Amino acid sequence: MRLMTSFSRSSGAAGVAVTAAAVVLAAVVAVPSAALRPASAASVAKPILFGAAAATKTQILAHEQVLGRKMQGIRQFRKWDSTLFGATERWARDTGHTLFTSVKAERRDGTGVRWRDIANAAPGSRLHNDMLSQARQLKDFGAKVYFIFNHEPEVTRWKMGSPADFIAAWRKVVTVYRNAGVTNVEYVWTMTAWGFKRKDADNARYYYPGDAYVHHIAADPYNWYRCRRSTGTWGNMANILEGHRQFGLQHPTKGLMLMEWGSAEDGGSPGRKAQWIRDLITLFQKPAYAQYKAVLQWGGRSDNIAGRCNFDYLSSSSATRAWRDMGNHPAFLAKVLS
């Protein structure tokens, strides 16, 4: 995603501009308590892990209040020199949540860390020591972490380096972590959904680090509709994801994931977004989508487009109900990744 949002995608808990709890709880639609009890996952052979972006314990609990159960997957965003894990993350670990941690190649002061500099970092250098610090934090955390280095690199490559530079940086990060004894991490390579379909030099395939350095292949798919400078075409998720799905077929040993997803509302057709969300329940149960392991929803909103880019599930009461129904369907009740 490329919009400024009220939920920080790069700075972790300190960067959250709004308290999600009050907003989320205000959007909960009263339903009979029985509807909040998750169904048994026994009827689905390989359920998908369900989750959302959340930077604080308060936000996680607010999501869970809406969902009516524990939300398994927690997506978090960090910068290059951020502390990776604090009280929220330790609480999440100890209560059985699964962390998906993104680290952006940018320092907290806004200074970019160019990919080629990461790739060329020699032992003893500041950047190499940064990677060793990250490795120690990951190793000491103990629990499984799904790690994303610089998600959506094609969006910022004009200032960060070339696709080849990104690949070299990704491989260097993974190599340093592995050499430091990090064994509790799986690496999730994450591009925009459009990156898997575009026809130019920023097609996703030019950024792929290789199977030896990647455990899972992720996309960030959105139905933009009339948001931003889009054409006004209502996006079908199957069409939006097709490039990603096809890429996954070329790497059949890798899991596929959505690290972010969302839809704009159609002001002229109330309930259309809710149906779009419910359609995902059917879509991901199809055999063609068997590689998909996790879907984590984005919780952000546009700050500068008159509310037309509200991709989260709070944009309408019908969208809230649909998100809750999706998260309680047996197809999305995985507790661990298979």
In a domain, 3, yes or no: no
Closest to 211 measured CA to CA, from 258, 250, 163? 250
Provide the pLDDT for residue 230.
67
Q: Is the separation of the CB atoms in 71 and 121 below 8 Å?
A: no
Q: Is the separation of the CB atoms in 312 and 301 below 8 Å?
A: yes
Tokens linked to 128? 């190499």
Q: What is the Cα Rg of the chain in Å? A: 19
In this structure, how many other beta carbons lie within 10 angstroms of the beta carbon of residue 83?
13
In a domain, 258, yes or no: yes
| β-bridge mates for residue 302, sequence order | 5
What is the residue-level pLDDT of the chain in tens, covering all 338 positions? 433 333 445 443 333 333 343 444 444 444 433 344 444 444 678 999 999 999 999 999 999 999 999 999 999 999 999 999 999 999 999 999 999 999 999 999 999 999 999 999 999 999 999 999 999 999 999 999 999 999 999 998 889 999 999 999 999 999 999 999 999 999 999 999 999 999 999 999 999 999 999 999 999 999 999 887 667 789 999 999 999 999 999 999 999 999 999 999 998 999 999 999 999 999 999 999 999 999 999 876 654 455 567 899 999 999 999 999 999 999 999 999 87
Domain around 303: 12-332
In a domain, 190, yes or no: yes
Measured distance CA(101)–CA(219) in Å, rounded: 15
CA atoms within 13 A on the CB side of 296: 27
Measured distance CA(214)–CA(21) in Å, rounded: 35
Beta strand pairing call for 292-297 and 49-53: parallel
In a domain, 1, yes or no: no
Element (H, E) at 242: helix 237-249
Measured distance CA(63)–CA(57) in Å, rounded: 10
DSSP for residue 106: B
Tokens linked to 133? 């610090």
| β-bridge mates for residue 275, sequence order | none
In a domain, 338, yes or no: no
In three-state secondary structure terms, 143 is: coil
In a domain, 5, yes or no: no
In a domain, 2, yes or no: no
Closest to 332 measured CA to CA, from 265, 257, 275, 247? 257
- CATH number of 222's domain: 3.20.20.80
Burial of 230 (0-12, 13-18, 19+ CB in 10 A): middle
Closest to 53 measured CA to CA, from 22, 80, 16? 16
Phi, psi of 144 (to 5 degrees): -65, 135
Structurally, the chain folds into a number of domains equal to 1
Cite the DSSP H helix spans in 51-189.
Answer: 57-67, 87-94, 115-119, 126-141, 153-160, 163-179
Q: Is the separation of the CB atoms in 118 and 171 below 8 Å?
A: no
Closest to 165 measured CA to CA, from 130, 121, 227, 197? 121
